[in-house]
Amino acid sequence: MKILFLTKRHYMSRDLLQDHYGRFYEIPAMLSRLGHVVDLVCHNYKDDEKQGIQENVDLTISSWNLGRNPVSGFWQHYQRLGEKIGEFRPDLIVAASDCYQIIIGAVLARRFSIPMVADLYDNFLAYKASHVPGVRSLFARSLKQASAVTVISNSLMEHIRKIYFPRGKLYLVENAVTDHFLPARDRMKSREQFRFETGKRYIGTAGDLSSDKGINGLINTFLELVKVYPDLHLVLAGRKHGKLQIPDMDNIQYLGELDHDQIPELFSALDVGVVCVMDDEFGRYCFPQKYYEMVACGLPVVASDVGEMSRLLAHYQELLFRPDDVEDMKRAIRYQLQNKRSLPTEVPTWAMQTEKFDRIIQEVINK
């Protein structure tokens, strides 16, 4: 089967073209390994990077810049995709990553009479870029037109079903982990890699670091906990956003942005991992990638009692805390510091999720 896969280039603070990272690389690449011919087009909303075609073992990746004028940039992108479809003649379009790619994918699918799968890995209308007048109605129309809609979480599935009434079938395809997270690691070697001190305990998280992701609440909670546990350290890794201030203290380590291959080492080195999710239009429907990554590394976790985390940890209420509630987060972290409770959760790999995705597209094509 020939598949045209549409996505934006930058997401989760990563560059898909350079990093070959996450859902929008792993699924297309593994579909290719299953025998499909996949052409991945990643739309770069910035205008300061090289564009062109990248050929690798798994698939062809094209990167096209939006340019300084978004209106003409999206129109040019649409025209280029029309030309590509004329040459490539795909059997299926998969549109993913935000409202704009799904809208473009739907228009192309209708124009060329090609089935389309819309892949939703977030509540896209929570993004600021989706607040442009007219985008909401075009997005809703695109979802109704889609032959199938795949979603990242149960909570998002219920939201899409209730609000948009898609004609195509809804499928759950959660996030997953790469094989880098699966081998057991020597914990002491992982701790040595980050220069963690013997006899000290380390809690932390990795990912986008911003106030609207609950990191202020984690920092404030740590500042209270360290009064009781002077051996405790807070470790933060990822890109800082907005006005987030990380206190300059010996007990707080900011590692900056780590390579993806370093994240398993970090999660193997920590004593407790913290998954912060806010109770907002984004947090209620997301699936935090770091949760599966932490669990795969055997790291004891605590998480915000919001959306998908509430469902996944429904039988572990002691591990949940109210978002931005310092006292409640303290309680959950103290429990894990004392009990070090790992979760017996089976963590899916991208190979497993791609097999599920493959069955979905086969259903769509064979309708």
pLDDT tier for residue 11 given thresholds of 50, 70 and 90 = confident
Helix axis angle, 326-339 to 215-228, nearest 10° = 60
Report the pLDDT averaged over residues 8-27: 88
Average pLDDT of the residues of the chain: 92
Contact in structure between 29 and 58 (CB atoms under 8 Å): yes
Q: What is the pLDDT of residue 229?
A: 96
| Residue 162 in this model has a pLDDT that exceeds 70 | yes
- Tokens for 349, please give them: 């790999």
Distance CA 297, CA 141 (A): 41
pLDDT tier for residue 82 given thresholds of 50, 70 and 90 = very high
DSSP 221-251: HHHHHHHH-TTEEEEEES-B-TT------TT
Pairs from 160-168 (Cβ < 8 Å, separation ≥ 24): 160/120, 164/140, 168/117, 168/364
Distance CA 317, CA 351 (A): 31
| Residue 74 in this model has a pLDDT that exceeds 90 | yes
pTM of the model: 0.92
- Tokens for 189, please give them: 């070697």
Q: What is the pLDDT of residue 367?
A: 79
Contact in structure between 182 and 264 (CB atoms under 8 Å): no
From residue 352, alpha-carbon distances to 5, 55, 349 in Å are 19, 25, 5
Which ranges constitute the DSSP H helices of the chain?
16-19, 23-33, 70-88, 99-112, 135-145, 154-164, 187-193, 215-228, 263-269, 289-296, 307-312, 326-339, 350-365
- pLDDT single digits (tens) 196-235: 999 999 999 998 898 778 899 999 999 999 999 999 999 9
Distance CA 16, CA 23 (A): 10
- Tokens for 102, please give them: 């799904």
Q: What is the pLDDT of residue 57?
A: 59
Distance CA 74, CA 108 (A): 13
Question: pLDDT > 90: what percent of the chain?
Answer: 76
Its sign, for the CA torsion 325, 328, 332, 338, is positive
- pLDDT single digits (tens) 179-197: 888 878 889 999 999 999 9
Distance CA 313, CA 327 (A): 19
| Residue 52 in this model has a pLDDT that exceeds 90 | no
What three-state secondary structure class fits 106?
A: helix
Report the pLDDT averaged over residues 74-82: 95
Distance CA 67, CA 263 (A): 33
